[in-house]
Amino acid sequence: MILYTPLAMDDIFPSRPEDKVITQRWIHGRLCLVWRDDDGTDRLERLLSTDPSDYLDPRFQPNSPIR
């Protein structure tokens, strides 16, 4: 893909100094990617599963808190 624009590269793709540290955890028997927010709460970033029905489970909604 070619992007023709007069803007600087940093204006289009800004650097993110607040990059999240993402770790892998098993939650309810499924492998998930988890990050910790500023309050210290672990939140679900992504579910890693080959079973399509896992993605319909409300426990695995992105950004939901992990208990």
Residue 24 one-letter amino acid? Q
Supply the pLDDT for residue 7.
86
Read off the pLDDT of residues 5-15 as tens digits, 9 standing for 90 and up.
898 888 888 77
Looking at residue 2, its pLDDT comes to 79
What is the predicted pLDDT for the residue at 14? Answer: 76
The torsion angles phi and psi of 11, rounded to 5 degrees, stand at -75, -30
Identify the band that residue 18 occupies on the pLDDT scale cut at 50, 70 and 90. low
Domain boundaries, the chain: 18-60
Alpha-carbon gap, residue 36 to 66, rounded angstroms: 10
Q: 65: which DSSP letter?
A: B
The per-residue pLDDT for range 30-64, each reduced to its tens digit, is: 999 999 988 889 999 999 999 999 999 999 999 99
